Amino acid sequence: MHRPDIDSERVIRIERDILAKNNDAARQNRARLAATGTLALNLMSSPGSGKTTLLVRAIEDLKAKFPISVIEGDQQTENDAERIRATGARAVQINTGKGCHLEAGMVGAALDDIKAEPGGLLFIENVGNLVCPAGFDLGEAHKVVVLSVTEGEDKPLKYPDMFAVADLLLLNKADLLPHLKFDVGKCLAAALTVNPHLQTLVVSAETGEGMAAFYAWIEARASLSRAAAVAQA
């Protein structure tokens, strides 16, 4: 909100209403996902950190074990959904137009289209943006932030909100480290300064380095989601 003609109290009221509406929709999504024992992960990063590349590889490696669906968020184009569909997974593309993040209501509408199979994985790829997606609960089980080594090790300090709300950091493009002055330890320390509970994995979506640990992380949480749905039924 940068309109000088709207007074600041009104801006705060509008923001509060938007977030309250979002939180209601997120609660509904979370209940739906819990009923089917679906593990939903919300992937967030700056544009180009490698979210879709990570998803394509993860789907290829996990599709024998889980039914997998993907909700793709971008301002424009169907490109990422097409990359996902090439793996055989179901994908719904949401175009946000001028919007710069996904909201829970959009995810709820996409869930109607997807009809996720019970006990599966749902990956939500948020709009490439390291700032405001952090503020919107989509009903996911976990938020995963992707940062690539070409972006600079101080990003967690500059954009702390995203790292504060995430449960897992995937530090991607590790294959490029030999070509860069990038201190992995310093970057992870910055992330942990912002969020001491953040779990961190160093990966390459290009070579597959480190991905087994990500899959183990997913599988552990997917079995908890399945067990909770069985207990609830």
Ligand X SMILES: Nc1nc2c(ncn2[C@@H]2O[C@H](COP(=O)(O)OP(=O)(O)OP(=O)(O)O)[C@@H](O)[C@H]2O)c(=O)[nH]1
Binding site for Zn ion (CB under 5 A): 100-101, 132
Q: Would you count residue 173 as binding ligand X (CB under 6 A)?
A: yes
Residue numbers at the binding site for Mg ion (CB under 5 A) = 51-52, 80
Instruction: Kindly tell me which residue out of 176, 177, 213, 228 binds ligand X, with binding defined by CB under 6 A.
Output: 176
Q: Indicate if the alpha-carbon torsion angle 106, 42, 89, 227 is positive or negative.
A: negative
DSSP 58-69: HHHHHTTTS-EE
Q: In angstroms, what is the minimal distance from the CB of 174 to Zn ion?
A: 29
State which residue has the least CB distance to ligand X. 128
DSSP element (H, E) containing 182: none
Burial of 23 (0-12, 13-18, 19+ CB in 10 A): middle
Phi–psi pair at 205, nearest 5 degrees: -70, -20
Residues 132-171, one symbol each (x = binds ligand X by CB under 6 A, - = not), give: ----------------------------------------
Size of the site for ligand X (CB under 6 A): 18
Q: In angstroms, what is the minimal distance from the CB of 84 to ligand X?
A: 10
| C-alpha span between 8 and 90 (Å, rounded) | 43
Residues from 22 through 81 that contact ligand X (CB under 6 A): 45, 47-53, 74, 80
Taking each helix axis as running N to C, give the angle between helix 51-62 and helix 211-232, from 0 to 180 degrees, rounded to the nearest 10.
Answer: 70
Beta carbon nearer to ligand X, 60 or 175:
175
